[in-house]
Every structure is written in structure tokens, then in C-alpha cells.
Chain A
């Protein structure tokens, strides 16, 4: 009886535009077929979020945008434009 498992792809873009280039990326595989880890690729799996959507990934989270808190206008911290995408794949067993 096939069951469905979730794969998550997290793409960090260079701007909020979903066509903009990918700066960083992560993959989390709920099917257990792969074990992605840090430093396992030098090139992003897709050029943009839209390119991933064309390959069947569904966007499930957009980053919100907030003005900087006073005093932190020039502070850099976490990557701001984080998009989370999913694919559902069948597993057997």
C-alpha cells in the first residue's frame, strides 16, 4: 500500500522576487531515500523558486517583510528571503 511522504526544499533568494537567484539551499527528505547534509553541493538545485515550481515543487511558505527595528538598519543577520517548497512522493512498504 503506497504511502505519501514529504520532501522539503528551502531556497534562500537574493531578493524577494521569485525569479531572483538562489544564494543558499537545503533539502530535507522525508522519504528516507537520500540524506542531504551540509556542504554536499556547490551549486543550487534550481536557479530560482520559479524554476523549482516548474519542476513540480509547491511553495508552502513565503517570507514576510518587516522594516528594520530602530538601530538595526545596517545590521546583517539571518538570510531574509527564505522560501519553503514541498513535494509529496510515494513510498512503499
Chain B
């Protein structure tokens, strides 16, 4: 009896419940996608035919090549902007450093597809920059195609490299660099031979995030592609065309996307495993004051990068206040676009808030419990949960949503409504944000505090609620806000799952952009940006280290 009681203590039950939820919402759909990719759509037999088709037909091979091409070059671009920016802000006295990192964070959290269509408004065939150059007789290339996608990826994802590298640079023991200089290195040699290798782990982590996000990104190639297809747009199109039948080609393409992300992550882990630099912070780096043209150049570069990266957002907000008549801008300012979203898309706004809020309530509850299990319970089950928390990062939204459809819209669960599917999708995809923030908060709390509460007579659940929760509250709030930002901006998965009654703001914006309704899209985007900005402000209020809260 007593041993039975012991086996079923509170946290064991919680661990079991968490595992059950993760298996149902995360593993089931992924396994389902994996299995379907080996099924013949017509005969329902097991087959390798889908993969054979994928690796032989030019349509898919080109998509694979395109995906890797824009992924690699986008990541490279992000590094080329992010690393110098990090070095300049970490090592030189810079006017407006806080401003630069705030802008970088805003770029990071802004809805991903806004960049793509704002660039159309600037550099599209009818963009104002294109028109301006046309006016003076210069033909500049438009933003459509691979180079446009790479441009958007570069400007959208460089903050990951920037913020991670900056954090690492500020923690490099200055003695290493002093020693290098003392041994005869010039400043440039010192940077290349000592500093850069020391912060390489951080750079590679930032770069791998860029790469995985580039591979998974749907909105940018969908809006800017114009015939340039990547795996995510191919998977989406395949899903659409296979509607009614089994989406076997869509899931096969999805599997390839997952494998690419996983290989990238494994490669990075392998490289990193040999490079662990424990650093004691005895001698913190100092900032140098630059003078003359160097100072001016560094300032122009840093502020220029973040301003250009911010420009899509500014364009969107500006456009939303332009006077429109239907889809046409008629000159001057006006609030017609906002009037139109209230008339045509009020349910998109309410849906977005309701779904994201519901998902975040779940995220908050589960984050608190999961982080406790991960940090405090060293069992095989808690290790498994910790590992599973990485999986959603690697699964593109399109893939997760197809997994949801094939799992929950078939068999005995076929009645699951779109509302619940969307909430569950946001929950499982954004759960890691909440868990990561809460986990790092909990690691700062000594376990003896909970033991003291238990020793004084509080049962485990009460000790958790009265002692642990109040102490991890800041981390929990930050994690939940991050979950909210990313949930309310979700596009790719929603596009697959939504129906007439469950349209959301990102979907409305996407459809409006495809219809050329830029005013309407801009107004909706501004609403989305506003609530994202509000969340960022709240995160700043609740966190000590503003820069790393968003990574």
C-alpha cells in the first residue's frame, strides 16, 4: 500500500500527464506524417514511391535546391549583418546602443510575413522605390524571386545572430585578448584568431536558428516567390491539391524539411561538442571609444542596419493610414483601411486574440509544471520531456498542421473542430518558449526552498503553488508573453487548419496581400504589430536581461 502511494505521488502523476499530452499532440501527428509518407495515395499500400518521386522529379528537386539555396544564403546574410553589429555594440562606445537592440528585438518579433509584403510595396513592380528610380530613368531589379527572399531572410533573422553573439562577446574574458595582444597580435589578428573562435558557439547557435526558420518559412516565399518554389510552399500546394485524398506528397515533402532541420541541428551540436569554453568572468571586456571616420562609419553601419530592417514595419504602419478607395490608394491620409477591417474582418481580430489567449493559458500552466519536472525530477521521463521540448522548434508549421489534420480529422477524432485544432496547434508549437523561460527561472531557485515548505507540512502541490510559483513568476510571465507573440503571429499552420469561421489576422493579411489589398493588409498588420509591441514592452518590464529574453 505504501509503496503504491509512493509510486503515485503528485509529481509522478503530473509527469505522466505531461507525457500523455506530448505524445498525443506532438508525437502522434509527427509519426502519422512519417507513416503517410510511405503510403501510396491510390492503392493505400506501403511504398517508397513518394520518396522516389520526390528525388527524381525536377519539380521537387528544384524546390529542395531552392530551399537550401535561400536557407544557406539567408543565414550567411544574417551572419554578415549580425556578427559585425554584435562586435561593434559590444566593444565600442556607441550612441544609442539600447535603441539598436530594442529595434533588433522588434524586428525579431514582428510577424514574419509582414517583411515580405512591405518589401513588395517598396521594391515590387509597383513599389515606390522602384517607381522613383523608374522616374529618373534607372531600371532596378524587383524584389521577386530568390534574391528578394534572401534579402528578407537576412533582414528578418540577423537579430538572432546579433543578440546571441553580443551576449557571448560581453562575457569573453578580456585577459584572453590581452594575452593575444601581449604575444604580438594586431587587433585584426586578435579578433580573427581569439575573439571570433571564442564566440563561435554563440554564432553557430544563432545561425542554426536562422537556417531552421528559413527552411520552415512559408509566408516569405509564398508572397515573394512568383514561381520560385521552396519546400514549404510545395508542401502547402501539394496539400491543397491533394485535398480530399491522402496528402501523401505533402507529408513526404514535409519529412524532407524535418530531416534537413534535424541534420543541421545535429551537425551544429557535433561541432559544438568539441568546443566548450568555460569562462570565469574575472576580467570583463571594456568598450573602446572610436574617433573620426571610424566612429562615423560604425555608427552609420549599426543604425543603418536596424533602420533598414525596421523599414518594412514603418512602411506597413505608414501605409495603413493612407487614404484608400477599395484596394486603390487615392493619395492623402485617411482611416478607411481601419474602417474596412472593422467591416470585413472583425472576426479575424477576435479569433486571433481568443485562440492565442486560450493557447497561452495552456502554455502557462504546462510551462510551470513541465519546467518543474525537467529541473527538479531527474528521471528518464523528465529527460524525455526535456528532449521533446526541442522538437517543436524543428517542425515547420505546415508540417505540424498537416500532421494535425491527418491525425485528428480521421478516425474516431474526426469531429474535432477547427477552433480546438488551432488552439492545440498554437499550444504545442509555442509551448517551448514558455518552458524555456520558466526553466531558466526555476534553475535560479534553490531546491531547498521547496523542501523547506514540504518539511513544514505543505503537500507537494501546495508547496509548488505557495513557494515555487511566486518565485518563478517573472520567468513564467516572460515565457507566456513570448508564447503569445508567436502564437498570434502564426500563419503557415493556420492556413492549413482554418475554415470560414476561424480566420485569423495573419491569414487575412496573407489573403489580402495575394489580392493586392495592401491598405487592408497594412491596417491589420498594424493592429498585430501594436499588440506585439505591447507584449515586448511588458517583457522588458518583467525581465532583467532584455536582450536574451527573446532568444
The answer to whether A and B assemble together is no
B residues with CB within 8 A of A? none
A residues with CB within 8 A of B? none
